[in-house]
Amino acid sequence: MVKLSQLALLFSFCATISFVTLVSPTRAERQHVYSTQPSALSPLSQDELNLFGLKLITESYQIRSRVEKPSGDAVADINSDAVKAVMGLYDDDALIQRSRLNYALTKKTYVPNYTGRFTVSNVAVSRTSETVLVVSFDVRLPDRVSLQSGNIYSGDTMPRILVLRWNDQDGMWKIVSHGDFDAPRAYLCGANKDFMPEKSAFKHEDLELAQDLWEKVQTSSLSGHPETMQSQGFQYVFSSGERKTAPGKVRARLKKREEIKNVEALRSDDLLVMRFDSVSPMTIDGQDVEASLRPRLVTFRHDTDGQWRMNAIAVFLVTAKFAEDVKCVGQ
């Protein structure tokens, strides 16, 4: 168990971190923060919890930064130890939504990118249960490149939202859902820029449950009581940066019931992760959102009172479109 005195040492850093790690740590060092047990978080204030989240995300990008950059022909070792270390951060039932895909990735179809340098900021952490964390933050990845397609990403500071669950067997926090708002802007010369990851299959009963829950979410929103479908610690993030990280004013509202498409869902014990596409009849801070078909990633939890409620939503409203005629970028 990590003691509070040890946590105090973890909190001796600033609110924004930017660096590249040059020395490969041992496995224990790599997962020092990820192995912080849930009981150690209970006494923390919100500021301390956010600082813990910053350390958690920083450790994650330190691990990601050790993945080797692909060469000009986009050949990369997707089975390297560095890639495997990144994959170890994810739950076996994880669902990952990237901005330019109209389907989600699972642990079987997800391959991490080369990231290199990183800057993490604006970390907000909430606990929806003793063993579930929601973490939203901004990150800038100026060197990010896909190992499979050779796509070069924007390099802009973009938001992320994660739901993590404590895994007793591995003794660490693991990512269950991951909303990734970054988008490609170019590609490496010789790369397979048209590469698309494999689609996954999902259980019929999980899809039915997800669609039923989203109907209830819409009903709660349209009736003026969205909080009935929101768990304690509920967070959402829009790709344009608006977010909800604490109780307060309702900023996002549905104007009418929406039609959802391309629904996928994966249940794992008391968590259900759902993704879909929708032309959102929604307002944020009273302003209409863009009327385009965009992805959403929603994580529900089956609470102790027997009700399913949302823990987190990633809303991809300003999704960048990869330009087919953009010039390739040399090494």
Q: Where are the beta strands (DSSP E) in 90-141?
A: 90-98, 105-106, 118-129, 132-140
Q: Which helix (DSSP H) or strand (DSSP E) does residue 313 occupy?
A: strand 308-315
> How high does pLDDT run on average in the chain?
85
31: confidence class by pLDDT, cuts 50, 70, 90:
low
302-to-132, 147, 273 alpha-carbon distances in Å: 12, 36, 11
The residues of the chain that CATH labels 3.10.450.50 are 4-187, 204-315
Residue carrying the six token digits 């060469």: 71
Please give the full DSSP string across 180-209, using - where no structure is assigned. Answer: E---EEEEBTT--TT--PPP----HHHHHH
Q: Is the pLDDT of residue 75 over 60?
A: no
Q: What count of other Cβ atoms lies within 10 Å of the Cβ of residue 108?
A: 9
CATH number among 3.40.50.1100, 3.40.91.50, 3.40.50.920, 3.10.450.50, domain 204-315: 3.10.450.50
Tell me the percentage of the chain whose pLDDT exceeds 90.
64
Q: Which residues, at least 6 apart from 26, have a Cβ–Cβ distance to it below 8 Å?
A: none
Q: Which helix (DSSP H) or strand (DSSP E) does residue 263 occupy?
A: strand 260-268
Strands 282-284 and 151-153, by their bridges, are unpaired
Residues 141-176: pLDDT tens digits? 999 999 888 889 999 999 999 999 999 999 999 999
Q: How many residues does the chain have?
A: 331
Which region, left, alpha or beta, applies to residue 171 given φ > 0 means left and ψ of -120 to 50 means alpha?
A: left
Residue type, 240: S
Residue type, 187: Y
> Of the ranges 44-58, 241-255, 309-323, which is most confident?
44-58
How confident is the model at residue 72, as a pLDDT? 60
Residues 91-103: pLDDT tens digits? 999 999 998 889 9
Tell me the percentage of the chain whose pLDDT exceeds 70.
85
Residues 231-265: pLDDT tens digits? 999 999 988 888 889 887 777 777 889 999 999 99
* Whole-prediction pTM: 0.86
Q: Which residues, at least 6 apart from 159, have a Cβ–Cβ distance to it below 8 Å?
A: 136, 137, 138, 179, 181, 237, 238, 239, 241, 243
Please give the full DSSP string across 138-171, using - where no structure is assigned. Answer: EEE-TT-B-TTT-EEE--SEEEEEEEEEEETTTT
What is the mean predicted confidence (pLDDT) over 59-73?
87
CATH, domain range 4-187: 3.10.450.50
* CA–centroid distance for 329 within its chain: 28
Residue type, 93: D
Q: What count of other Cβ atoms lies within 10 Å of the Cβ of residue 296?
A: 21
Residues 63 and 30: beta-carbon distance below 8 Å: yes
What is the mean predicted confidence (pLDDT) over 226-230?
94
Residue of 303 and 31 predicted with greater confidence: 303
Q: What is the largest CA-CA distance in the chain?
A: 56
